[in-house]
A and B are shown apart, each in its own frame.
Chain A
Amino acid sequence: MRLLSSIMGAAAAVLAGLGVPAAAQDNAITVFAAASLKNVFDDIDTAFARKTGRKVVASYAASSALMKQIEQGAPADLFASADLDWMEYGTQKKLINEASRVNLLGNKLVLIATKDSKIETVAIEQNFDLAGLAGDGRIVTGDARFVPVGKYAKAALEKLGSWSPAEKKFAFVENVRAALVLVARGEAALGLVYATDAKAEPKVKVVGAFPAGSHPPIVYPVALTARAKPGAAQYLAFLQSQEAKTLFETYGFTVLIRPTS
């Protein structure tokens, strides 16, 4: 186990190191953010750079993959997770600056299909026939064992009683964006992604929304890592600003805090 950890640590460090431009970016901030945050964080990072002159280097992947990399020593300054579990995991392993934690954003879980799919609107209620809807096609979402969107999806479907019949039709992918792409390409009949992802992809349409009570609340906590550089706090503050709030809401996220600036 130690051997595996060190090999993965070395690999993660190499990968993370390659992701960070060399030398002169000492004041660049490294952000590890959940895949569903890509579009909005790209805009926020540009705004931040314009405002402060500091560059932000971001790495987007499933929250699970990112936290695992941080655990192996990847040099992230800030972690933005798509669920509380992975932030908890990091806190327990003393990888997170607990005092800096903020539950920043909310999101909704939706059911999507390809733009020209015959499926129109689906009432997502108790025992709805997800398996039947999929026909002989597949339903994609993040891996239900560790990717946040997959965990929310499974929780919701189990609560609604629609999980077991549909389980065999699922295809699990590494992160929510991969699921989005597969539905956009028509490879998969249906997908479970965040409302913000569906909004960002013109080739898919939302055919149903999951009632908020069917799954644990979708909360995106953000925090500085234990080894964050001092200047990173400036970025965290910017995430809580009015300017950032406007951007988040444009993309469809709910902002859970009151802006501090």
Chain B
Amino acid sequence: MLDLSPDEWTAIQLSLRIAFVATLAALPPGMAIAWLLARKSFWGKALLDGLVHLPLVLPPVVTGYLLLISFGRQGAIGAFLADTLGIVFSFRWTGAALACGVMGFPLLVRAIRLSIEAVDRRLEDAAATLGADKGWVFLTVTLPLALPGVIAGMVLCFAKALGEFGATITFVSNIPGETQTISAAIYTLTQVPGGDAAALRLVVVAIAISLVALVLSEWFARRAGTRLHGG
């Protein structure tokens, strides 16, 4: 079996924790924004859409730098959060989760938006006539029918979070046990003379995790799909 050192195990556990937290934290705002973009028209909609997609097109290091200046200890938002809520992102795994969540956010929103748009609005109308207000329509009709897309979005976000490197390392650097994810660990190992073997082991682990995530998501999505159309 793979003979992984404690540092490598730490990197794997940290990566998984960060990716899960990033995806779960991104889900509520992701769903809200996806719904807004799918169902509502308002002034500034194109701007919002553009902002959401920014992490997808900016170089990751730039995104990391922007996070640093806004969420770092001296950043406008970072200082406020640290002082009032005691939430610190600098050099902490929470910062890594924030970076990964931000990078995965556009993928999450896109997938959910597409699946909400695919839900027949006439069904939503029918639900309204049956007494469901907008919130209930969303929870009982739109969301269940959009579920395969939501799952797909979450998996994409998770995978992106798992593989994230540039923004994370720029924002919270590379601290073993705190912010050194699998990607950062692989990077470090490739810089150290003789670290290639260990790097390759971690690469194999990263691939395995991604494959498992993909297979699981396929299974969930398929199940959700049959629930919708099956009998």
A and B touch in the complex (CB under 8 A): yes
Are B173 and A140 in touch, CB under 8 angstroms? Answer: yes
0/1 interface trace, chain B 63-82, chain A, CB 8 Å (1 if under): 00000110011100000000
Stretch at the interface among B119-127, B144-152, B191-199: B191-199
Are A89 and B193 in touch, CB under 8 angstroms? Answer: yes
Shortest CB-to-CB span from A223 to chain B, Å, is 18
Known contacts A64-B191, A143-B188: does B196 contact A5 (CB below 8 Å)? yes
0/1 interface trace, chain B 159-185, chain A, CB 8 Å (1 if under): 000000000011001110000000000
Q: Cβ of A64: which chain B residues have Cβ within 8 Å of it?
A: 191-192
Interface members, chain A 140-162 (any B CB < 8 Å): 140, 143, 145-147
Distance in angstroms between the alpha carbons of A185 and B91 in the assembled complex: 14
Distance in angstroms between the alpha carbons of A186 and B197 in the assembled complex: 37
Distance in angstroms between the alpha carbons of A150 and B96 in the assembled complex: 22
Are A1 and B197 in touch, CB under 8 angstroms? Answer: yes
User: A227 within 8 Å of B by Cβ?
Assistant: no
Are B174 and A173 in touch, CB under 8 angstroms? Answer: yes
Which B-chain residue is minimally distant from A182 (CB atoms)?
Answer: B173
Q: Cβ of A146: which chain B residues have Cβ within 8 Å of it?
A: 188, 191-193
Interface magnitude class on chain A: 20 to 34
Distance in angstroms between the alpha carbons of A187 and B67 in the assembled complex: 12
Shortest CB-to-CB span from A22 to chain B, Å, is 21
Are B174 and A187 in touch, CB under 8 angstroms? Answer: no
Which A-chain residue is minimally distant from B200 (CB atoms)?
Answer: A4
Known contacts A1-B200, A138-B91, A185-B68: does B191 contact A172 (CB below 8 Å)? no
Shortest CB-to-CB span from B186 to chain A, Å, is 9
Are A172 and B72 in touch, CB under 8 angstroms? Answer: no
Are A171 and B91 in touch, CB under 8 angstroms? Answer: yes
Which of B73, B197, B203 is in CB contact (< 8 Å) with A187?
A: B73
Q: Cβ of A4: which chain B residues have Cβ within 8 Å of it?
A: 190, 196, 199-200, 203
Q: Cβ of A55: which chain B residues have Cβ within 8 Å of it?
A: none
Known contacts A1-B196, A171-B91, A172-B174: does B191 contact A143 (CB below 8 Å)? yes
Known contacts A4-B196, A172-B173: does B69 contact A145 (CB below 8 Å)? no
Are B174 and A174 in touch, CB under 8 angstroms? Answer: yes
Distance in angstroms between the alpha carbons of A188 and B172 in the assembled complex: 11
Q: Cβ of A140: which chain B residues have Cβ within 8 Å of it?
A: 173
Are B190 and A187 in touch, CB under 8 angstroms? Answer: no
Q: Cβ of B173: which chain A residues have Cβ within 8 Å of it?
A: 140, 171-173, 178, 182
Distance in angstroms between the alpha carbons of A127 and B191 in the assembled complex: 31
Interface members, chain B 23-67 (any A CB < 8 Å): none
Which of A145, A172, A185, A186 is in CB contact (< 8 Å) with B192?
A: A145
User: A54 within 8 Å of B by Cβ?
Assistant: no
Shortest CB-to-CB span from B168 to chain A, Å, is 12
User: A65 within 8 Å of B by Cβ?
Assistant: yes
Which B-chain residue is minimally distant from A145 (CB atoms)?
Answer: B192
A selection of 24 A-B contacts at a CB cut-off of 8 Å is A1-B196, A1-B200, A4-B199, A4-B200, A5-B196, A8-B190, A62-B191, A64-B192, A68-B190, A68-B191, A138-B91, A145-B188, A145-B192, A146-B188, A146-B192, A146-B193, A147-B191, A171-B173, A172-B173, A174-B169, A185-B68, A186-B74, A187-B73, A187-B91
